[in-house]
A and B are shown apart, each in its own frame.
Chain A
Amino acid sequence: MQATVRVRRFNPEQPGAQPRFEEFALEVPQNTTVLDALIKIREDTDGTFGVRCSCRASICGSCAMRVNGQAKLACKTKIIDVASNGQPVIVEPMGNMPVIKDLITDMTIFWDKVRQVEPYLQPEGPEPQGEYIASNESMNHLVGVMNCIMCGACVSDCTSLAVDKNFIAPAALAKAYRFVADPRDGAKKRRLGMLNEYGGVWDCTRCMYCIEVCPKGVAPMDRIMKMRDLAMQHGYNNTAGARHTESFARSVKSDGLLNETRLAIDSTGLLNIPGQLAQVPIGIKTLMKGKLPNPLGHKIPARKRIKKVFEKVEDGKR
């Protein structure tokens, strides 16, 4: 099979070097992975080509990179699956991290964030005589998170991290969940308090990139959403994020639809006068355009039935 691989090359140590693309045409077997092709390039064509890998079996997490614009493990991606209509396969280093050379990125930011969430058990109370025993049921739901191989794919494509380096980002947040939800951990409330701050669970945009690119099905965003709910259950209700969720649920429960104006006011916080005033200009703009959503909201005829669905699911009431 003929394959064309377009690789982003960059050596920041070379004075005046700029990132550039280089194209390689290869003859490879049908089952070739992107990593096989890259290694072939390094061995047969250009020994200076920088690519990081180890296990070649999607266990070690060393070869995450962007293939056709999306983070993937190169060893888990077959050329034939990504070379649509003979188009060149575009291979770039991960995003959100500085390039060391070619496809090799500096993952310091990744590890710093993992350390930030204190990724170890912090039990409380007296030590048990033997082991800390946890039931299967209490641990089974954590298996998915523990599958994380720390490859960095989710961090590479995280859209919140792209605009704010303070965001803890998906991998470390998923790791945080692994301890927040572990029955043996005693620091749950303190952890949730930390994660409730700026840079934590509420700064996720829910873009779902991390769910999409994770090669191990960790679904970091789903864990982040769980922690939002847990934070609220543990009394961390006085954040814009918590008020946003509550206001959203309140309007759908009473009207069947979202009340956008109410959502803006509630999320900002009724007593947050500067915040409310900051919303006035956009309010006036939309009013002048004749499209400020009615503050009283819209109501669907069947809204009482919606309320019943809420009660049945949320409260178990009839």
Chain B
Amino acid sequence: MKYAWWPGCVARGGTPELYTSTVAVLKRLGIEVEEMHDFSCTGAGVLQERNLKLGDALNIRNFAIAEKMGLKEIMTICSTCQGVMGQAHWRVMRDPEYLREINATIAEEGLEYMGGVVVKHLVWILVEEYGVEELKKHFTRNLSCLRVAPFYGCYILRPTNSLGFEKAPARETSLEAVIAATGAEVVDFRGKKACCGLPILLINQENSLKMVAQHTGTAKDLGADAMVTPCPLCHLNLDGYQDKAASKNRPGGQRINLPILHFPQLLGLAMGMGPEELGMPKHIVGTRELAATVRQKATVVNR
């Protein structure tokens, strides 16, 4: 199946390494995608706070474009895009009158959404369609030398009414499943489901940085070598502001030095790709030590 791929704003802005690593990994996995150049920003929950209908209209427009192209599934690589698009879809599909109202706002463009599109994050696609066993066939390294903490991002966890966990329970632990598939040890902690702090970074930076320090610090203290996230917005904060957060919140301002991996980067490492190919040198928190551990200690998988 060919997916309608929506990379989102941040994968082409603040975290370009997510975009390139996704392309590299999809190619290896043989997942066929068509990038949606005409999609707009989903609103990320920010436009929705100002005008919910506006946010829904932009997302329904995106769905209608994919539907018109004959594509049945939209693939996201951002927890926020996933959650916001999923909520918009849930709202219009339970209220035909509302859908008609929304469709009226995109009719001029020759678009009408009929309800035939499903939105799925890449991590969901892997655990419920592609299959973890199939995924493992592409791994050439066993990452048992690593301890990896998951960090989901709010929108891919809440509110559950529009996330389909009941029908697809694998989604709820998708990140742990993929970490375990690479051979790495999962570092479990309560903060994996919390907020990274990014939404208030520019509003109440003190609180935002406390969240960064708390989550990355806890994972580090539990022995994590890296944290992995399916959300580039979380990455912006957990990676970009980790040093500042540590200097303000850790005892003695001690650095945390926990590399934050985008979800496809972890897959890439297990596939034997190098850190450059995965864009890891672009991270703010250094990844050299992590890359060296993988190079020196990861065992080659015999197939």
Contact = CB atoms under 8 A, between A and B. Distances in A.
B190 interface: yes
5 contacts: A159-B195, A205-B195, A206-B195, A245-B46, A290-B282
B284 interface: yes
Given A291-B282, A313-B105, A302 B154 contact: no
B203 A202 contact: yes
A313 B57 contact: yes
B154 A207 contact: yes
Contact of B40 (A159, A206, A257): A257
A313 B9 contact: no
Interface of A: 69, 159-160, 162-164, 167, 198, 202-209, 211-212, 225, 228-229, 232, 239-241, 244-245, 248-249, 252, 256-260, 263-264, 267-268, 281-282, 285-286, 289-291, 293-294, 298, 300-303, 305-306, 308-310, 312-314
A286 B281 CA distance: 11
User: Counting chain A CB atoms within 10 Å of each CB, which of B9, B10, B104 scores highest?
Assistant: B9
A266 to B, nearest CB: 9
B295 interface: no
A212 B204 CA distance: 23
Contacts of A313: 51, 53-54, 57, 105
Contacts of B37: 300-301
Contact of B45 (A206, A239, A252): A206
B246 interface: no
B132 interface: no
Contacts of B203: 202-203, 239-241, 244, 267
A147 to B, nearest CB: 16
B67 interface: no
Interface of B is mostly: helix
A248 B13 CA distance: 14
A300 B38 contact: yes
Contacts of B12: 257, 298
Contact of B210 (A164, A256, A291, A312): A164
Contacts of A240: 202-204
A260 B240 CA distance: 14
B66 to A, nearest CB: 13
Interface stretch (B14-22, B113-121, B140-148, B256-264): B14-22
A291 B159 CA distance: 32
The 8 A-B pairs at the shortest CB distance, nearest first, are namely A267-B202, A207-B195, A208-B158, A225-B49, A163-B210, A293-B13, A258-B9, A205-B195
B214 interface: yes
Contact of B159 (A69, A167, A204, A208): A208
A209 B12 CA distance: 29
A198 B46 contact: no
A208 B281 CA distance: 33
B89 interface: no
Interface string B128-157: 000000000000000000000000001100
B244 A211 contact: no
B207 to A, nearest CB: 5
Contacts of A69: 190, 193
B54 A256 contact: no
A74 to B, nearest CB: 19
B52 to A, nearest CB: 8
Interface in B229-287: 240-241, 244, 281-284
- Residue of A163, A309, A314 with most chain B CB atoms under a 10 A cut-off: A163
A309 B106 contact: yes
B71 interface: no
B47 A248 contact: yes
Contact of A309 (B39, B61, B190, B197): B61
A160 B207 contact: yes
B284 A286 contact: yes
A164 to B, nearest CB: 5
A198 B50 CA distance: 20
A264 B51 CA distance: 21
A212 B50 CA distance: 21
B92 to A, nearest CB: 14
A248 B80 CA distance: 15
Interface in B38-83: 38-41, 43-51, 53-54, 57-58, 61
Contacts of B38: 300-302
A65 B242 CA distance: 32
A208 B193 CA distance: 11
A260 B10 contact: yes
Contacts of B283: 289
